[in-house]
Amino acid sequence: MDNITHSLTGFALSRAGLNRFCPRALLLLVLSANGPDIDIVGLSGGSLRYLEVHRGYSHSLLGLPFMAALAVLVVAGIYRQKLPWLKAWLLCCAGVASHLLLDWTNSYGIRLLLPFSPKWFHLDLNSLYDAWILAILVFGAIWPFFSRLVSSEIGSRAPTGTGSAIFALCLLVLFDSGRAVLHARAIGQLEARLFEGAAPIQASALPEPFTPLRWTGIVETKRDYRTIDVDALGQLEPQNADIFYKPPVTPSLERASATRPFRYFLYFARFPVWSEETVAENSGSGKRLDLTDLRFGVPGAGSFHCIALEDARDIIQRVWFTFGSGAELGRSLPGAP
């Protein structure tokens, strides 16, 4: 999830009553709720390095107590104050756990079991940026301010905000519980259909950021991947699917797959889609290979793309990974007119 959502979750946990557990609880919870995203330092090594480390050790169950301890050290250093270490650490464990739980609910995934297993876990319930969850948490954060204005006008006791924070957290749980039911219905629609006379190899439903009713269905068959708009309460229309055919395994694909960016991306991708096109060269023509994941883009558009440029002698000249579409990369070989 985005860091505003993580911060507001830490804020809600503090106001819901955990702020009475330990001094500096608010900062401890907000900081620890964002702590696992310290892996952003991987950007200093480039886009590929960040992709490799993101949602890795800092997001694992084994890393949770270390991320919590780091948050305690930072807060103690900021205030130059001796904290009750065990209470502060337990509080930060709750904050880090909230981060892992929220990231688990989206379709990007999280590697909870590193270093024992490289498996990605994804519930596919929420988008990376979810408008409904953000609205719930913003409501829980700002409602006490409006209540205090009313209380000051009528001379009554100002609310502490505990009730609104608890309400927001409970509403968040209920919202995702309802979304889990809708997600199961969307998956059921996809799995109940035959594609090319056979049940799908796998079927997934990815969330939309602004509506819990509509999902992007992705179906894998022996020959292709298909994306279908799914209304959890409506009828599925598979004839409107966009189809992306699986290419034959060629030497060019094998050479590209052996490079570091493609090798890691094939591990990361759930729905890998390839495209290939000819590019100009003085001595003939080469190939431009594009690999993306249907969770994030399509060939030539969207985000998360690996691109390789192969010359006429079947040598990979350059390889890129980009979080963008990569549409401008690898359009000509060195020395091309």
**What is the tens place of the pLDDT at every residue in 293-323?**
999 999 989 999 999 999 888 899 899 999 9
DSSP string, 295-317: TTEETTEES-EEEEEE-TTS-EE
Note whether 152 and 98 are within 8 A (CB): no
Residue type, 115: P
Mark whether 90 and 199 lie in a shared domain: no
- Label each residue of 187-234 as H, E or C: HHHHHCCCECCECCCEEEEEECCCCCCEEEEEEECCCEEEEEEEECCC
Residue 265 lies in a domain: yes
Stated as kind and residue range, the H or E segment containing 143 is helix 131-154
Residue 130 lies in a domain: no
Mark whether 10 and 85 lie in a shared domain: yes
Per the structure, the count of domains in the chain is 3
Mark whether 14 and 112 lie in a shared domain: yes
Mark whether 277 and 302 lie in a shared domain: yes
Note whether 273 and 292 are within 8 A (CB): yes
Q: What is the mean pLDDT of residues 259-263?
A: 96
* pLDDT at res. 279: 85
CA 141, chain centre distance (Å): 24
Query: Would you state the structure tokens that stand for residue 272, as one six-digit string?
Result: 């890998």
Residue 21 lies in a domain: yes
Mark whether 102 and 40 lie in a shared domain: yes
Mark whether 274 and 234 lie in a shared domain: no
Mark whether 211 and 229 lie in a shared domain: yes
Chain length of the chain: 337
What is the spatial distance between Cα 74 and Cα 304, in angstroms, rounded to a whole number? 33
Calculate the alpha carbon distances from 122 to 104, 106, 154 in Å: 5, 6, 49
Stated as kind and residue range, the H or E segment containing 275 is strand 272-281
Mark whether 262 and 275 lie in a shared domain: yes
What is the domain range of residue 307? 247-322
- pLDDT score of 82 more than 90: no
Note whether 137 and 6 are within 8 A (CB): no
Burial classification of residue 193, based on how many CB atoms lie within 10 Å of its CB (0-12 exposed, 13-18 middle, 19 or more buried): middle
Interior angle at CA 61, CA 14 and CA 177, nearest 5: 60
* pLDDT at res. 152: 53
What is the spatial distance between Cα 156 and Cα 158, in angstroms, rounded to a whole number? 6
pLDDT tens, residue by residue, 19-74: 998 999 999 999 999 999 999 999 999 999 999 999 999 999 999 999 999 999 99
Phi, psi of 69 (to 5 degrees): -65, -40
- Residues 6 or more apart from 219 whose CB is under 8 A from it? 190, 193, 195, 200, 202, 203, 225, 226, 228, 241
What is the spatial distance between Cα 187 and Cα 123, in angstroms, rounded to a whole number? 12
Mark whether 285 and 211 lie in a shared domain: no
What is the spatial distance between Cα 79 and Cα 262, in angstroms, rounded to a whole number? 45
Residue 264 lies in a domain: yes
What is the chain's mean pLDDT, rounded? 90
Interior angle at CA 216, CA 214 and CA 221, nearest 5: 140
Q: Label residue 147 by pLDDT band (50, 70, 90).
A: low
Residue 273 lies in a domain: yes
* pLDDT at res. 52: 96
Among 325, 318, 280, 269, smallest CA distance to 299 is for 325
Q: Label residue 237 by pLDDT band (50, 70, 90).
A: confident
* pLDDT at res. 149: 55
DSSP tag of 332: B
